[in-house]
Amino acid sequence: MKQQLDLNTWARKDHFHFFGRFEEPFFGVCEDIDCTVAYEQAKSAGSSFFLKYLHHSLAAANEVTPFRYRISDGEVWIYDQVHASPTINRPDGTFGFAYMDYYEDFATFEAKSKVETERVRNSTGLVPAVSGENVIHYSSLPWISFTAVSHARSFSFKDSCPKIAFGKMREDRGRKLMPVSVHVHHALMDGFHVGQFLENFRQRMNSSK
1.10.10.10, 3.90.550.10, 3.30.559.10, 1.20.1250.20: CATH of 25-205: 3.30.559.10
Question: What are the DSSP calls for 153-207, one per residue?
Answer: --TTS-----EEEE---EEETTEEEEEEEEEEETTT--HHHHHHHHHHHHHHHT-
> Could you report the per-residue pLDDT of 79-126, keeping only the tens digit for each?
999 999 999 999 999 999 999 999 999 999 999 999 999 999 999 988
> Could you report the per-residue pLDDT of 17-59, keeping only the tens digit for each?
999 999 999 999 999 999 999 999 999 999 999 999 999 999 9
Q: In the chain, where are the structural domains located?
A: 25-205
Average pLDDT of the chain? 95
pTM: 0.95
For residue 130, pLDDT beyond 70: no
